[in-house]
Structure 1
Amino acid sequence: MLRNKPLTISQRNRLVGYCFLLPNLIGFVLFIVIPVIASFLMSFSNWNGFGSFEFIGFANYMKLFEDDNFKISFVNSMIFTVVSVPVTLFAALLIAVWLNAGVKFLKLFRTAVFLPYVTATIAVAVVWQLMLNPSMGPVNGMLRSLGLSDPPGWFSSTAWALLSVMLVYIWHSIGYYMVLYLAGLQGIPDHLYEAASLDGAGAVQKFFRITLPSLTPVIFFTVIIGVINSFKVFDLIYVLTEGGPGRSTQVLVYTIYNVAFKQFDFGYASAMAYVLFLVILVFSYVQFVGQKKWVNY
């Protein structure tokens, strides 16, 4: 009778590794791969989640070109991204450079800036909703005490609502990017600055000749992540404005939520989601192609 050949140490180690990977792989397939494929198929259908699955081809995608609601949401998302991402990254870089310069109470300031990011987004939104309340909020109260008789309506004004949400988003997100930049700054060798000082370089020259080029890999990463996160903003909109007043803060993800879970048009919502995916994919591809010319590894 033949005996099974025992596994070698290498084979046992490989088997143990696969066993550790299996739960994550199962979760990835169940909650990422299958929903992505299902939503792609739904984008070519007219389905409310309960009735029959009706295949309608590219009708949902063609409908997007005639839907004013989608156009407004798309424009709002683009404005949100174009404004919030550069401001967030620039402010985070300035704070990181300042903290890296060796200020006193470094850990205290670093924690204070990073704390909003780890705070629940819903809690942040509720606090800012109270602070920027047009009639009873402390911000408008301070503005009135300074002589401004008609302070902004913030979240209740069509002119200020989107800007107000962006300000809260920037305040909430800036700590995450600050930590990334600070880690990148601390990885720059000191001898580069010492050599520059011997050559007579000033602080501005050091920043543009050493700091920025050395940080380009981190900047590249934060730009990609920043754009993706800004296009995905939902919870702040949901709590602060619910897309209003009017449609001034209605962004793509909030529109997708409304179409899918309030109007129960899962096919059309899936088409919107894949348009959003395509926009992010194109931007990311352009960045990955262009980074060869400006990122220094």
Structure 2
Amino acid sequence: MSIATETGSVGRAARRALVPGPSGGPPEKKIRSSLHDQLTPWLYVAIPIIWISVFSLIPFFNTIRLSFTDSTMLVPGKFIGLDNYKRMIHDPHFINAITNSSLYVVCVVPFMVLLPLMLAALVAEKTRIMGFLRTSFYVPVVMSSVVVGLIWTNLLDTKGLINNLFKALHWISKPVPFLVDRWLLLFSAMLVTIWTGLGYYMMIYLASIANIDPGLYEAAQIDGAGGIRQFIHVTLPGCRWTMVLISLLSSMSAFRVFGEIYMLTNGSGGLGGADITMTMLIKDEGTGISARTGYAGAIGMVMFVVLGVLVLVQWFLEARSDDE
């Protein structure tokens, strides 16, 4: 009996020795398991990292390199220091482009901040008719730039719908040069930008309004506040930091404007390039057989610095909001 007991004990001990515990197992298996745990997360992000490196980081650093050379499309060029940046100061095309882009920001951003907020406040109620209106306002956002360009070109042309309507009402004796006059063309492009962006920013505001405590509206209503006073004293403060975010997004988008003016001018930038913007100037200087890729790179770096300043302003404002 004692022999059998001892035999069973030996067998159980042997089985326990064969089965590894929580920290047991051969060292080689531990190393493989550790490497597997470390490499697996990188496999999920490998493709995005490669994509960003190939199509963003490498071109960015190459642009920095080109901005200090006199490179063209056919000639690699040599190092010339800050000559490209000095040339920009005296280049009337660059002065015109940065003026138009800056004016675009000044004129478009206030409308992009306020109009979508008012629209969002009007259609925030969850009813069928409001859902239809929200969809209608969002339709221009999903339209292609080609379709938008064709619509507004036909509307604003000298023989377009708007000029024909003005003639029929006897408001004008000759067509309004919406697509020819420098300032009318620039402001027409701003109108197209506002029209296409209202729905997008409206949706952001709708999400912000949904996070406002409904009790605040009820309290304001009990105090006798009407719709306008509720908007001023409840909606505006509740969407304060969303307004800051949208001002940043719309500023960056306005400074990088390309499609609207390109479509309305058929790629010419207006008569003599008077309405050309920064992105259009980079495209003109950096493409074609006679392209000056070094100079285009320098213009691109100036644009990068301007957009970087806008991002830093946003970070500063967000930091202040966190402190408060």
TM score, norm. by length of structure 1? 0.91
* Post-superposition offset of 1:203: 3.2
The Cα shift of 1:296 comes to: 9.6
Q: In the alignment, what sits opposite 2:281?
A: 255
Which letter maps to 2:78? E
User: Once the 2 structures are TM-superposed, how far is the Cα of residue 174 of structure 1 from its aligned partner?
Assistant: 1.2
| Of 161-170 and 97-106, the range deviating more from structure 2 | 97-106
Residue 56 of structure 1 pairs with residue 80 of structure 2: yes
Question: Could you say which residue in structure 2 is the equivalent of 1:29?
Answer: 53
Answer yes or no: is the 8 Å Cα contact 1:155–1:245 preserved in 2.
no
| Equivalent in the alignment of 1:205 | 229
Contact 1:217/1:295 (CA < 8 Å) preserved in 2? no
Please point out which of 128, 135, 144 is paired with 2:167: 144
> Highest CA radius of gyration, 1 or 2?
2
State the Cα distance separating 1:103 from its structure 2 match.
6.1
- What is the root-mean-square deviation in Å for CA atoms of aligned residues? 2.3
Q: 1:277 aligns with which of 304, 310, 315?
A: 304
Q: Is the 8 A contact 2:252 2:310 kept in 1?
A: no
Structure 2's unaligned 5+ residue stretches are 1-25
Q: How far is 1:201 from its partner? A: 3.7
In structure 2, what is the equivalent of residue 3 of structure 1? 28
2:269 aligned partner:
243
> Which stretches in structure 1 are left out of the alignment for 5+ residues?
none
Q: Which residue of 2 aligns with 1:121?
A: 145
The alignment partner of 2:313 has SS state of: helix
Match of 2:103 among 63, 79, 90: 79
Aligned CA distance change for structure 1 residues 62 and 13 (closer, same or farther; 3 Å):
same
- Residues 127-172 of structure 1 show CA distances to partners (whole Å, capped at 9, x for unaligned) of 211121112x111111111112234211122231101111111111
Partners of 1:16 and 1:37 in 2: how far apart?
29
1:193 partnered with 2:220: no
Q: How far is the alpha carbon of 1:188 from its aligned partner? A: 1.0
Shift of 1:233: 1.2
Moved more, 116-125 or 144-153: 144-153
Equivalent residue, structure 2, for 1:93: 117
Query: Structure 2 matches for 1:100-115, cutoff 5 A?
Result: 100-101=124-125, 105-115=129-139
Please state how far the C-alpha of 1:73 moved relative to its aligned partner.
0.7
The code of the aligned residue for 2:259 comes to D
Deviation at 1:292, TM superposition (A): 5.3
What is the one-letter code of the residue matched to 2:247? V
Q: Contact between 2:117 and 2:202, CA under 8 Å: does it hold in 1?
A: yes
> Counterpart amino acid of 1:247?
G
- Summarize the Cα distance change of 1:109–1:2 in structure 2 as closer, same or farther, 3 Å threshold: closer
Distance apart, 1:291 and its partner CA: 5.0
Using the alignment, how far apart are the partners of 2:244 and 2:37 within structure 1? 37
CA distance in 1, matches of 2:35, 2:133: 50
